Structure 1
Amino acid sequence: MWTSKMTRRQGLRALAGAAAGLAAAGCTQQPAPQPGRPAMPGEPVELEFWAWVPGMDEVVATWNRQRPDIQVHYVEVPAGADGAYPKLYAALEAGAVPDLVQIEFMELPNAVLHGGLVDLAPLGVGEHRHQFVDWTYEQVSFGGGVYAVPQASGPVATYYRKDLFDEWGLTPPATWEEFERVAERVREHDAYLTTFPTNNAEVLSALCWQAGSIWFGADERQWVVDVDNPATHRVTAFWQRLIDRDLVDTIPNSGNAFYKSVQDGRIVSLLGAHWHAEVLEGNAENTAGKWAVARMPQWDAAGPVRTTNLGGSATSVVRGSRFPSQALEFALWLNTDPATVSDLVVKGMGFPALADLSHVAAMDEAFGFFGGQRINDVFRESSESVDNSWKWLPTTNQALEHINAELQGMAAGGRSLREIAVDAEARIIRDLEKKGLPHRS
Structure 2
Amino acid sequence: MSTPPRRLRGRRLLSLAVTVAVIAPLAACSGPADDGPVTLTFQTWVPGIDQAVDLFNEQHEDIQVELQTIVSGAEGGYAKMLSDVQAGNPADVAQVGYDQMPTFLLNGALEDITDYVGDDVDVFADWQIGATTFNDRVYGIPQAAGPMGLYYRSDVFAEAGITEAPATWDDFYAAAVAVRATAPDRYIAAFAPNQAAWMEGLAEQAGEPWFQVEGDAWKVAIDNPDTLRMAEYWQRLIDEDLVKVQADLSSEWFADVQAGRIVSWMSGSWADAIIRNNAPETAGAWSVGLMPQWDEANPRSASWSGGSANVVLKGSAHPEQAAEFALWLNSNLDSVSLLTENGAGWPAIADVDAIPSIQSAPEVFEFFGGQDIWDVFAESSDQVARDWQWPPLVDALNASLLDEVGAAVESGTPLTEAYAAVQERMVAEMTAKGISVAD
Alignment counterpart, residue 76 of structure 1, candidates 53, 69, 79: 69
- The 1-side partners of 2:400 and 2:41 are apart by 36
Alignment counterpart, residue 138 of structure 1, candidates 126, 130, 144: 130
Relative distance call for 1:30 and 1:21 in structure 2 (3 A) is farther
CA shift at 1:149, angstroms? 0.4
Contact 1:19 1:222 in 2 (8 A): no
Look up the match of 1:223. 218
CA shift at 1:429, angstroms? 0.7
- The 1-side partners of 2:225 and 2:187 are apart by 28
Alignment deviations for residues 257-277 of structure 1 (CA, whole Å, 9 cap, x no partner): 111100100011111111111
SS in 2 for 1:314: strand
SS in 1 for 2:291: coil
- Greater Cα offset, 180-189 or 49-58: 49-58
Look up the match of 1:10. none
- The 2-side partners of 1:40 and 1:80 are apart by 31
Look up the match of 2:299. 305
Look up the match of 1:121. 114
Look up the match of 1:89. 82
Look up the match of 1:52. 45
- The 2-side partners of 1:292 and 1:42 are apart by 56
Alignment deviations for residues 280-336 of structure 1 (CA, whole Å, 9 cap, x no partner): 1122122122111111101112x1321111031000001111111111111011101
- The 2-side partners of 1:26 and 1:331 are apart by 29
CA shift at 1:167, angstroms? 3.0
Matches within 5 A, 1:266-285: 266-285=261-280
- The 2-side partners of 1:232 and 1:374 are apart by 32
Contact 2:23 2:86 in 1 (8 A): no
Contact 1:406 1:414 in 2 (8 A): no
- The 2-side partners of 1:63 and 1:26 are apart by 39
1:408 and 2:400 correspond: no
Alignment counterpart, residue 337 of structure 1, candidates 311, 332, 356: 332
CA shift at 1:227, angstroms? 1.0
- Greater Cα offset, 107-116 or 241-250: 107-116
1:326 and 2:327 correspond: no
Look up the match of 2:145. 153
Root-mean-square deviation over aligned CA pairs: 2.1
TM-score (norm 2): 0.91
Look up the match of 1:162. 154
Give the fraction of aligned pairs with identical amino acids, expressed as a percent: 37
Contact 1:152 1:351 in 2 (8 A): yes
1:111 and 2:104 correspond: yes
Look up the match of 1:12. none
- The 1-side partners of 2:248 and 2:277 are apart by 14
Q: Which one-letter code corresponds to 2:257 in the other structure?
A: V
Matches within 5 A, 1:225-304: 225-301=220-296, 303-304=297-298
- The 2-side partners of 1:172 and 1:129 are apart by 35
SS in 2 for 1:169: coil
- The 2-side partners of 1:138 and 1:69 are apart by 30
Moved over 6 A (4+): 29-35
- The 2-side partners of 1:34 and 1:130 are apart by 32
Q: Which one-letter code corresponds to 1:239 in the other structure?
A: W
Q: Which one-letter code corresponds to 2:384 in the other structure?
A: V
- Greater Cα offset, 130-139 or 242-251: 130-139
SS in 1 for 2:349: coil
- The 1-side partners of 2:213 and 2:377 are apart by 27
Relative distance call for 1:161 and 1:105 in structure 2 (3 A) is same
CA shift at 1:34, angstroms? 9.8
CA shift at 1:372, angstroms? 2.3
CA shift at 1:427, angstroms? 0.9
Look up the match of 1:4. none
- Greater Cα offset, 94-103 or 220-229: 220-229
CA shift at 1:222, angstroms? 2.2
CA shift at 1:172, angstroms? 1.7
- The 1-side partners of 2:89 and 2:31 are apart by 21
1:19 and 2:11 correspond: no
- The 2-side partners of 1:21 and 1:431 are apart by 15
CA shift at 1:52, angstroms? 1.0
SS in 1 for 2:429: helix
State how many pairs are aligned: 419
SS in 1 for 2:149: strand
Matches within 5 A, 1:169-248: 169-170=161-162, 171-190=164-183, 191-248=186-243
- The 2-side partners of 1:63 and 1:151 are apart by 15
SS in 2 for 1:97: coil
SS in 2 for 1:116: coil
Alignment deviations for residues 143-196 of structure 1 (CA, whole Å, 9 cap, x no partner): 133211011111000101112222332132110001101100001012111111
SS in 1 for 2:177: helix
- Greater Cα offset, 127-136 or 422-431: 127-136
CA shift at 1:250, angstroms? 1.0
Q: Which runs of 5+ in 2 are unaligned?
A: 1-13
- Greater Cα offset, 128-137 or 45-54: 128-137
SS in 2 for 1:65: helix
- The 2-side partners of 1:360 and 1:151 are apart by 14
Q: Which one-letter code corresponds to 1:261 in the other structure?
A: D
Matches within 5 A, 1:285-434: 285-301=280-296, 303-311=297-305, 312-364=307-359, 365-366=361-362, 367=364, 368-434=366-432
Look up the match of 2:36. 43
- The 2-side partners of 1:35 and 1:147 are apart by 18
Contact 1:195 1:251 in 2 (8 A): yes
- The 1-side partners of 2:415 and 2:213 are apart by 25
- The 1-side partners of 2:112 and 2:338 are apart by 28
